[in-house]
Structure 1
Amino acid sequence: MAEFEVVRQAVISAEPSRVHGLIDDFHRWSIWSPWEDMDPQMLRTFSGADAGVGAKYAWSGNRKVGSGKMEILSSTDREILLRLEFERPWKATNEVTFTLAPNGPATEVTWRMRGERRGLMGLLTLVMPMDRMIGRDFEKGLARLRQAAQN
């Protein structure tokens, strides 16, 4: 087993409530998520609450995006906590947190994912750390989130 944490931050010139609305509603992730355009044929399913606690999102796509599901476990003005479960290409359950901190007229957003890599994926960590595998995706997603919130 190998524990990991991937963290990226960005300052977005928008009020926290505007940024929060883009994260707290899975229907709006298609605007900014770095993985949404990797498979135009990806199947998406929304269930539970429309947004906030209890909102659920599942996807199934090509080899690049795989399949899995997310659920919002808690949501406050300052933090949104998700459970992220990958089913394919490997099985894993991770904790994802978005922290929103007012920064003058802007919002500092911290995107954090924690989890464990087990079995073959744990061995892969020795060669390819999770930060290297998905850190750029987080950066791309934060840049898109910035663009969506500021427009």
Structure 2
Amino acid sequence: MADTFLVERSIVTSASPEAVHTLIDDFRNWPQWSPWEELDPNMTRTYAGADRGAGASYAWSGNRKAGAGSMTITESVPGRKVKLDLSFLKPFRAQNVTTFLIEPGGSGTTVRWQMTGKQSWFFTVFGFVISMDKMVGKDFEKGLAALKRAAETRTT
């Protein structure tokens, strides 16, 4: 079994690359589309660093479903890409890299959501039963569908 993983999903939207980028590049917009924001209505959120783009940070702490962790945007290319470091503290510890690739094309804007990381010992052993793709793939699909809806209703 590999010691790294890649989870990737994509969706095509009629929204502009800029509208999509705006929703991803500012953590304050994530409640509009992130599949994990609804897991705990009492979740605490802390924003730090830049308002958006490289250097923007977001930390959360919630119930057992929401867990706790933080994200920091490390690279932002307007209308093209947002890359961030993702640190989970609960329910398990993990360090991952998440990348959103925004690709304009003839049929619309393709948004590709990727997460890569090292496979922990726990997931290496239990990965035979449940893979990272099975754990978060459906969440990515749900989030991308909500991102598409939010971007298509934006005027930016």
TM-score (norm: length of structure 1) = 0.96
- Cα distance, 1:105 vs. partner? 6.4
Structure 1 residue ranges without an equivalent (≥5): none
The answer (yes or no) to whether the contact 2:33–2:147 under 8 Å persists in 1 is yes
Amino acid in the other structure paired with 1:8: R
SS in structure 2 of the partner of residue 113 of structure 1: strand
- Equivalent residue, structure 2, for 1:37: 38
Using the TM superposition, give the Cα deviation of residue 104 of structure 1 relative to its aligned residue in structure 2, in angstroms. 2.6
Unaligned runs of 5+ in 2: none
After TM superposition, which residue ranges in structure 1, 4 or more long, deviate above 3 angstroms? Answer: none
- Provide the rounded CA distance (Å) in 1 between the counterparts of 2:139 and 2:120: 22
- Which amino acid is the alignment partner of residue 84 of structure 1? L
Aligned pairs for 1:98-137 (under 5 A) are 98-104=100-106, 106-137=108-139
Alpha-carbon separation, structure 2, partners of 1:8 and 1:17: 20
Q: Decide whether the 8 Å contact of 1:100 with 1:109 is kept in 2.
A: yes
For 1:139, which of 138, 141, 145 is the aligned residue? 141
- Look up the match of 1:49: 50
Aligned-residue CA RMSD (Å): 1.1
Paired residues in the alignment total: 151
TM norm structure 2: 0.93
What's the CA shift string for 1:10-61, capped at 9, x where partnerless?
0011110010000000000000000000100100000000000000000000
Distance 1:119 1:106 in 2: 40
SS at match of 2:116: strand
Q: Is the 8 A contact 1:14 1:105 kept in 2?
A: no
- Tell me, yes or no, if structure 1 residue 12 matches structure 2 residue 13: yes
